[in-house]
Amino acid sequence: MVAKAYRLLRAALNTAVDDELIRRNPCRIKGAGIERAAERPTATVAQVFQLADIVPGRFRALILLAAFASLRYGELAALRRRDFDLRCRTLTVRATLVERSDGSLTFGPPKTDAGIRTVTIPDAIRRDVRAHLDDFVDEDQDALVFTGAKGAVLRRSNFQTACKWRESVAAAGLPDFHFHDLRHTGNTLASRTGASLAELMARMGHASTRAAMIYQHTARERDEHIADALSSQIKQSRDRARNGHGQRKKWVATNEAPARKPVLSWGLTLERVTGIEPALSAWEADVLPLNYTRRRHHCT
């Protein structure tokens, strides 16, 4: 609010400068015209499913698609049966529901061409989407997918009343959670998959890079947390190694020379045996001639 007031005042004074009513614009506060919205909360996957379980059954798929297909409320309320191709796991956003200042409702094209897009439905929720189409949607291809209990166009205020939004989000552990925060949750989850900037823009339906870059920044922060956790594990492992846990034994050098084993030398000697040699064994005397040569092995 303050930033908008500053921008309005600065614009008025710029006009005064152009008309030569004043010499220079005194509104020169750097960054005063920039709006810094508070960071919106995100839900966990478990909390999204818990919220989908709490709301009436006809709104279960709406909750899941808002989060995991990153759809805006107006886009969801304008979906028709023909926009779904469950064999290909896709839905196509062609229109959006707009509530005018006088309270009337109208269907129109998305604000930008980027809003017209085909989004792949996560396989984990395809069964929920199929069940919704079977149970709550007319067979006519032009039938609205999400309506009130009597089949009327689903005005946002009627949706919040029918599902008791404040009580439901509080029961899911998400106090002060807005419907648009479901889309914010889905965008954050998508950014953590490693999707490129162009891929995020296409899925989110953004014509500018600004919003997609915000989610990429969130992904980088998450990556920093992962790196910090890895660093902690590395540090703990190295600390254990320094304290001797899991450390390899080291050989300690000493001045003492190791004891040497005796070296044995083997050899072969040829001997000439004659009749004047010492008496032979009984076997040698029987089988050997009087003069012969024999081999003797020796070890020193």
Give catalytic status of residue 297 as yes or no: no
Q: Which amino acid type is present at position 267?
A: G
d(CA 17, CA 24): 6
The DSSP annotation for 109-129 comes to: --SSGGGSEEEEPPGGGHHHH
Q: Are 289 and 273 in contact (CB under 8 A)?
A: no
Report which of 96, 97, 84 is spatially closest to residue 142, judged by C-alpha positions: 84
Q: Are 190 and 200 in contact (CB under 8 A)?
A: yes
Q: Which member of 60, 80, 184, 215 is catalytic?
A: 215
Give catalytic status of residue 73 as yes or no: no
CA distance readout (Å), 286 to 196, 207, 281, 296: 101, 116, 9, 20
Give catalytic status of residue 180 as yes or no: yes
Dihedral angle computed from the Cα positions of residues 5, 177, 123 and 201, in that order, rounded to the nearest 10 degrees? 10
> What are 123's strand-pairing partners?
none
Q: Where is 93: in which H helix or E strand?
A: strand 90-93
Tokens standing for 25?
A: 């614009």
Q: Which member of 180, 220, 222, 225 is catalytic?
A: 180
Residue with tokens 């339906």: 205
Q: Which amino acid type is present at position 172?
A: A
Give catalytic status of residue 183 as yes or no: yes
Q: Which member of 72, 80, 132, 203 is catalytic?
A: 72
Give catalytic status of residue 272 as yes or no: no
Active site residues: 72, 180, 183, 206, 215
